[in-house]
Amino acid sequence: MEKINTIFFGSAYFSIFPKIDFGFWYKPNHMPPKDYAKWDAMITAFTRHLVDRYGIEEVAQWYFEVWNEPNIGFWGGKPYQKTYFELYDHTARAIKAVNARLRVGGPSTAQAAWAGDFVAHVVRENIPADFVSSHVYANDTVENVFNTKGMAPVPRDKMVCTAVRKVRDEVSRSARPTLPVIFSEYNASYANEPNVTDDVYMAAWLATTVRQCDGLTEGMSYWSFSDVFEEGGVVKTPFYGGFGAIAAGNIPKPAYNAFALLHKLGDTRLASDSDSTLVTRRADGTLVVALWNYAPPDATGPKYAPPAPPGPPLHFVLELPAAREGAKVALSRVDADHGNVVSAFDSMGRPPFPTREQAAALRGMARLPATPARRAINSGMRGLNSAGGRSAAKTNCRPARSRVSTVFINSICVARLPARNCKSSGASVCNGASGTGEPSPLPLRNLSKKPIARSRINWL
């Protein structure tokens, strides 16, 4: 219990709301309990310990999730669904017996499965459930996610949010349509694919996934924070295509930097007619715009392939009306040359066992610049210019042949201006509502938070 206390003390100290999985010991034991009375007693004692130690006001903000992916090999009960529902019923009742305010849910399935069946079960049997959870990966097949043959493949940049919408729709059609949906695992790949999960590809993939999934879920949990976790065993070499946002040796990967930039977005989303932008506004009026140029990865599978030659850029023009002369934007980016540690690792010859000095150098090269580049609206930034009486910001996102470049424009000064009739060739900063010319705000419920953030809505 001392080790468990240490873990949860750290969570409380750093103001993290944990999600607790009940739970299997990976590989050695994944069978149903032999004696449910003993299982119930264990769950009750553990949950009561947490409440006694941290208080109900704290623990009531946590999530208790029952098991992990019971529809595939992580669960040994047969048949899968019937035996899992028995486990869930016992666990949920034991948790609620400690305090009705505690939140419990499931079925924590792989491949967006069982959502409708789960809600129907808890309603029929009068079992507590505070949320519906599932998992999906962008390389899951349509046969597994949608239980259909002959359906056209869903591309990697659209699979996650297509599956999220499937679950959201199943819950909306159920007897409890307002149950929150949580995807407690998602990523661009469930396999070790260095050109996917290690690569700068992840920056644009994450941005487009956040854009598509916004508003469909209560939260999404990127699996995983680190490449070092128990299922993978001892990490033998860095940048092997691990699932984490941080590589072994505490080296931030491009995915980590993408989350850091997405965290800079505002809390109100403005309408946009582009599928490569997120246009937001902060409480102080600052506009923060994310732009990206998505392209498929250079390669897939376990073998790393060097970057392909650059492909054509994607041009964006942002028209900012009434911007004062000399106003500036702050520009941050993740691309082949910014926040991309893989480029530095390649230049070292991809050593299988980096020395301490090499690891320290990689950590330094992985970091984003501490201060964003600042450019005057009417000069620089590849031709920021004035057009038609409005100030215009023009920039390029240049991918490789199968590569991405993610550009984040943080318009610190300009954003305080009234946003009227704002349009651009690549994105619409705001669309007029009922002819008023004012922006049409969309509540931004699920945009990325930084890796450690006290928030119920967390994209990591």
Asked if the bond preceding 451 is cis, omega within 30° of 0, the reply is no
The string of pLDDT tens digits covering residues 1-21 is 777 777 776 666 667 778 888
pTM above 0.75, yes or no: yes
Looking at residue 400, its pLDDT comes to 37
Q: What is d(CA 272, CA 280) in angstroms, rounded to the nearest whole number? A: 10
Looking at residue 274, its pLDDT comes to 87
Q: Residue 247 falls within a domain, yes or no?
A: no
Q: Residue 209 falls within a domain, yes or no?
A: no
Same structural domain, 152 and 35: yes
What strands, in cross-sheet order, belong to the sheet with 181-187?
19-22, 63-66, 103-109, 131-137, 181-187, 219-222
Same structural domain, 291 and 178: no
Same structural domain, 136 and 275: no
CA gyration radius for the chain? 23
- Three-state DSSP class for residue 281: strand
Residue where a domain terminates, one of 129, 155, 187: 187
Same structural domain, 411 and 277: yes
Same structural domain, 17 and 128: yes
Tokens of residue 234, six digits: 């001892």
Q: Residue 234 falls within a domain, yes or no?
A: no
User: For residue 36, what are the CA distances in angstroms to 6, 85, 210, 332, 429?
Assistant: 28, 13, 40, 54, 57
Kindly provide the b/e burial profile for residues 206-229, where b requires at least 16 CB atoms within 10 angstroms of the residue's own CB: bbbbbbbbbebbbbbbbbbbbbbe
Looking at residue 321, its pLDDT comes to 63
Number of domains forming the structure of the chain: 2
Same structural domain, 166 and 296: no
Same structural domain, 19 and 150: yes
Q: Residue 351 falls within a domain, yes or no?
A: yes
Partners of 252 in the β-ladder: 246
Looking at residue 86, its pLDDT comes to 98
Same structural domain, 133 and 279: no
Same structural domain, 148 and 292: no
Q: End-to-end CA distance of the chain, in Å?
A: 27
Q: Residue 355 falls within a domain, yes or no?
A: yes
Looking at residue 25, its pLDDT comes to 61
Q: Which residues of the chain have pLDDT under 50?
A: 379-460
**What's 423's domain CATH number?**
2.60.40.1500
Task: Give yes or no for a contact between 205 and 164, defined as CB atoms under 8 angstroms apart.
Answer: no
Same structural domain, 15 and 142: yes
Residue where a domain terminates, one of 155, 187, 219: 187
Looking at residue 27, its pLDDT comes to 62
Residue where a domain terminates, one of 121, 154, 187: 187
Q: Residue 51 falls within a domain, yes or no?
A: yes
Q: Residue 197 falls within a domain, yes or no?
A: no
Q: What is d(CA 79, CA 14) in angstroms, rounded to the nearest whole number? A: 41
**What's 126's domain CATH number?**
3.20.20.80
Residues marked as catalytic: 69, 185
Same structural domain, 312 and 434: yes
Q: Residue 458 falls within a domain, yes or no?
A: no
Looking at residue 173, its pLDDT comes to 98
Same structural domain, 138 and 9: yes
Task: Give yes or no for a contact between 134 and 167, defined as CB atoms under 8 angstroms apart.
Answer: yes
Domain that holds residue 6: 2-187
